[in-house]
Chain A
Amino acid sequence: MTGAPLAAAVAAPVNLNGPGHYVGWGIFHFSVANVVMVAVIVLALIAALLLPFPKGRDRG
Chain B
Amino acid sequence: MTEQLVRTRPTGGWTGSLRRGMERNLPPAKLLPDEQPSYVASWIYVFGVLTLTALLVVVGSGIVLSVRGPDWWHTSAVGHYFNSVHLWSVELLMVFMSVHLIGKFFMAAWRGRRALTWITGAVSFIACATTALTGYLIQQNFDAQWISTQAKDGLNAIGVGAYFNVMDFGQMMLWHVALFPIVVALVVLLHILLVRRRGVVPPIARAGAAGDRS
- Would A and B touch once assembled, by the CB under 8 A criterion? yes
Main secondary structure of the interface of B (DSSP, over half): helix
- A4 is an interface residue with CB less than 8 A from chain B: no
Interface of B toward A, CB cutoff 8 Å? 35, 38, 41-44, 46-47, 75-77, 80-81, 84, 91, 95-96, 98-99, 102-103
- Judge if A45 is at the interface, Cβ distance under 8 Å: yes
A9 to B46, CA, bound (A): 36
| A6/B103 in contact, CB under 8 A | no
Check A45 against B80 for contact (C-beta < 8 Å): no
Inter-chain contact A41/B95, CB cutoff 8 Å: yes
**A53 near B35 (CB under 8 angstroms)?**
no
When chains A and B are docked, how far (Å) is the Cα of A31 from the Cα of B60? 29
- Please classify how large the interface on chain A is, using the bins under 10, 10 to 19, 20 to 34, 35 or more: 20 to 34
Q: A1-B77, A6-B80, A9-B77 are in contact. Are A55 and B99 (CB under 8 A)?
A: no
Contact B35 A59 (CB under 8 A): yes
Q: Does A51 contact B (CB under 8 A)?
A: yes
- Please encode chain A, from 1 to 44, with 1 for each CB lying within 8 Å of some chain B CB and 0 for all others: 11000100110100000000000000000000000010011001
Residues of B within 8 A of A44 (CB): 47, 95-96, 99
B-side contacts of A40, CB under 8 Å: 95
The distance in angstroms between the C-alpha atoms of A28 and B81, with both chains bound, is 33
* Residues of B contacting A55 in the complex (Cβ-Cβ under 8 angstroms): 41
- The smallest C-beta distance from B122 to any residue of chain A, in angstroms, reads 17
CB pair B77–A6 under 8 Å, yes or no, is yes
Question: Which listed residue (A10, A37, A51) contacts B43, Cβ 8 A?
Answer: A51
Q: Please report the C-alpha to C-alpha distance between residue A49 and residue B42 in the assembled complex, in whole angstroms.
A: 7
Kindly list 16 other residue pairs between chains A and B, CB separation below 8 angstroms, not including A10-B77, A48-B103, A51-B43. A1-B76, A2-B75, A6-B76, A9-B80, A41-B98, A41-B102, A44-B47, A44-B99, A45-B103, A48-B42, A48-B43, A48-B44, A48-B47, A48-B99, A53-B43, A59-B35
Question: What's the Cα separation between A48 and B50 when bound, in Å?
Answer: 12
Knowing A41-B98, A44-B99, say if A10 contacts B80 (CB, 8 Å).
yes
Task: Tell me the nearest residue of chain A to B38, going by C-beta.
Answer: A58
Q: Contact at B75–A6, with CB atoms within 8 Å? A: yes
Of chain A, the residue at the smallest CB distance from B47 is: A48
Contact of A53 among B41, B47, B96 (CB under 8 A): B41
11 A-B residue pairings within 8 Å (CB atoms): A1-B77, A6-B77, A9-B77, A44-B47, A44-B95, A44-B99, A45-B102, A47-B43, A48-B99, A51-B43, A59-B38
Interface centre among A12, A49, A55 (most CB of B within 10 A): A49
Q: Can you name the residue of chain B whose Cβ is closest to the Cβ of A51?
A: B43
